[in-house]
Amino acid sequence: MNEPIIKFDKVVKRFGDVTVLDALDFEVGKGEKVTIIGPSGSGKSTVLRILMTLETINEGVIHVAGKPLWHQYKDDALVPASQEHLREMRKEMGMVFQQFNLFPHMTVRRNVTEAPIHVLGLSKEKANQRAEEYLELVGLSDQADKFPSKLSGGQQQRVAIARALAMRPNIMLFDEPTSALDPELVGEVLTVIQRLAQEHDLTMLLVTHEMQFAKQISDRVCFFDKGRIVEEGPPEQVFTEPREERTQEFLKAFL
């Protein structure tokens, strides 16, 4: 593995009495494409949401690009992160959700330019150029003036990918990006993600149930259960000869 760009050290996350991440140790190398698989409720989304700073952690430390995420150093001591530190750290990451989460009252173009203008301070002109670049990458240059409701689910998800990329993050997080799509629209979204994986040195962390796809694009697959990594390894190994019984049981459902 390259030097880690994401590093979880003994991270504990609880919701009330429920321990969702149980002293999780987890690393992703720079440029690595990692897929997380596992049963519903095993903590997959929580890992991504914590990275996006949408959820806090209870214990442990996370580093992203060498800097603590939920903490910062003050006089050599780790203290809780300030809002300003969190804002800076967020720029490392872009996330694509199961439910595309586009702004419904904005055109496709404005969906993509909104954060570059308001978070990064780009001029409208520069942001529009970027929008063109990334809409082209996802094959939607001709849809820029439409509103999301006029697009298919697959197109909306591709806009969501362009929107995340327009912030030029170093890390892209995908949380079941095709789970809400009609089967005939899954392929176009997977094709875009696959192209990203092949042609860009982005670090990618992807939660999916598309096992064939995971096999094709991942450098490493992690099987989560009950907030821990039960098994991880290259896709050929985890998918074809899983060592752990729980992994075998889980994968049976996808044969």
Give the binding site for ligand ADP (CB under 6 A).
15, 18, 20, 38, 40-46
Choose from ligand ADP, Mg ion, none: what does 103 bind? Cβ within 5-8 Å by kind. Answer: none
Q: How many CA atoms lie within 13 A of 156 on its CB side?
A: 21
Tell me how far, at minimum, the Cβ of 238 lies from Mg ion, in Å.
19
Choose from ligand ADP, Mg ion, none: what does 20 bind? Cβ within 5-8 Å by kind. Answer: ligand ADP
Tell me how far, at minimum, the Cβ of 187 lies from ligand ADP, in Å.
23
Choose from Mg ion, ligand ADP, none: what does 41 bind? Cβ within 5-8 Å by kind. Answer: ligand ADP
- Report the residue number, 144 or 175, with the smaller CB distance to Mg ion: 175
Choose from Mg ion, ligand ADP, none: what does 253 bind? Cβ within 5-8 Å by kind. Answer: none
Does 45 contact Mg ion by CB under 5 A? yes
Report the distance separating Cα 155 and Cα 163, nearest Å.
12
Contact status, residue 60 vs residue 22, Cβ threshold 8 Å: no
73 CB-near residues (< 8 Å, 6+ apart) = 79
Among 37-45, 64-72, 144-152, 166-174, the segment contacting Mg ion (CB under 5 A): 37-45
The count of residues interacting with Mg ion (CB under 5 A) is 2
**Surface-to-core class of residue 31, CB atoms within 10 Å of its CB (0-12 exposed, 13-18 middle, 19+ buried):** middle
Site residues for Mg ion per CB under 5 A: 44-45
